[in-house]
Amino acid sequence: MEEKIIIPGAESPEKKKKILSCIQPSGIPTLGNYLGALKNWKTLSDDFDSAFAVADLHAITVRQDPQKLRKQIMEVFALLLAIGLDPEKSIIFIQSHVPAHAQLAWVLNCYTQFGEMSRMTQFKDKSQSHADNVNVGLFSYPVLMAADILLYQADLVPVGADQKQHLEIARDIANRFNGIYGKTFTIPDPYIGKQGARVMSLQDPTKKMSKSDPNPKSYVSVFDTPETIMKKIRSAVTDSEGGVYYGEGKDGVNNLMGIYSCCTGLDYEQIANEFQGKGYGDFKNAVGEAVVEELRPVRERYDMYMKDQAYLKEMAAKGAATASRIADRTLQKAMKKCGFVLP
């Protein structure tokens, strides 16, 4: 599967490409989720026809506490607005508010082979980490994800490495369905932006930063206070060599450089110059401050939206209404082709 670097507007100036992505409401995202994905969504929403959803149906593939889930769904929805997505410009919605997702997922389940699902590495990993609850939803999760994408006829899907295999399956399912019934779904391509930062754990920079890491010092959450952010960055693992430059065997420093680069726009050479002759203490303080400033406006907007639950509900309803119109059209088309009698 080839990664497409699309120059916005260059291919067809009159019609923008469609892009869709979703985020699971499984806790407050980390700095890694923010710099690696969410921050880019804002840019994408300027360049493409965009839809972004809170993938709450996906979340119950692992057991959730209902009260916590309810809270997290609205928190993540508010976060989508807080990162600067504009409900006038993008379709921003909660997946379960658009029944077509579950409906198309059922149909597509019947066009997906048990064998191909069994090969999904995330399923294999998760069925080990949640051995007491290897449910059928966990198994067919990529089919629901395919439905999310195909319903909007998305041309592009920004995905991280861990979701590439799922996108590939979505393409396979779409191709198969189109092969049987004629063109029904757009075949989605992965979208890899200019720099999708891969932020690593602050305590073990060989591992990806993750909110499920048992050591909270290993990640910065997007809503950590400035003091906490500074403390966590200051205690990040580096090396004993003492030089601020990008290099082999310097995973910790490389990671902090990546974070600093994303927040300031400086490249590695400029960063190395800035800290020439200075120690890790100075460097870490600068990284910490850059992260604090990066997240400050997100945090402020988030607090503002969370105080106005009525507005959030109104925006969620508006997003769901627009999403439903598009999704229902595709669902009906697909169901008609299968031989269903439409109501």
Instruction: List residues binding ligand TRP (CB under 6 A).
Output: 20-22, 24, 55, 58, 145, 148-149, 157, 159, 163
- Is the Cβ of residue 170 or residue 202 nearer to ligand TRP in the bound state? 170
Report yes or no: 274 and 36 within 8 Å, Cβ to Cβ: no
327 touches 98 (CB < 8 A): yes
| Catalytic option among 17, 211, 232, 284 | 211
Q: How far apart are CA 147 and CA 204, in angstroms?
A: 36
Judged by beta carbon, residue 208 or residue 250, the one nearer ligand TRP is 208
Report how far residue 23's alpha carbon sits from residue 77's, in angstroms, rounded to the nearest whole number.
9
Which of 17, 39, 126, 250 is flagged as catalytic?
Answer: 126
H or E element: which one contains 190? strand 189-191
* Smallest gap from residue 10 Cβ to ligand TRP (A): 24
Told to judge if 126 belongs to the known catalytic residues of this protein, a careful annotator would answer yes
Give the residue with the Cβ less far from ligand TRP, 20 or 292.
20
* 211 a catalytic residue: yes
- Report the residue closest to ligand TRP, judged by CB: 22
Kindly give the interhelix angle for 280-306 and 251-264, rounded to the nearest 10 degrees. Answer: 50
Q: Smaller CB distance to ligand TRP: residue 158 or 252?
A: 158
Residue number, 21 or 324, with CB nearest to ligand TRP: 21
| Residue 22: CB minimum distance to ligand TRP, A | 4
| C-alpha of 312 from chain center | 20
Q: Is 71 a catalytic residue?
A: no
Question: DSSP H helical segments within 133-222, as ranges?
Answer: 136-151, 164-181
Closest CB 125 distance from ligand TRP, rounded Å: 12
Q: Tokens 């930063």 — which residue?
A: 209
Report H helices in the chain: 31-33, 39-47, 56-59, 66-82, 100-109, 114-118, 121-129, 136-151, 164-181, 226-234, 251-264, 268-274, 280-306, 309-338
* Nearest CA-CA partner of 306 in 145, 73, 131: 73
Q: Which residue's CB is nearer to ligand TRP, number 82 or number 105? A: 105
- CB of residue 298 to ligand TRP, shortest distance in Å: 19
Q: CA 322, CA 251: separation in Å to the nearest integer?
A: 45
Cβ atoms 312, 301 nearer than 8 A = no
Q: Are 233 and 287 in contact (CB under 8 A)?
A: yes
Tell me the closest approach of the beta carbon of residue 53 to ligand TRP, in angstroms.
7
Q: Please check whether residue 154 is in contact with residue 186, taking contact to mean a CB–CB distance below 8 angstroms.
A: yes
Nearest distance in Å: CB 41, ligand TRP: 11
Catalytic residue among 17, 18, 39, 208: 208
**Residues designated catalytic:** 126, 208, 211
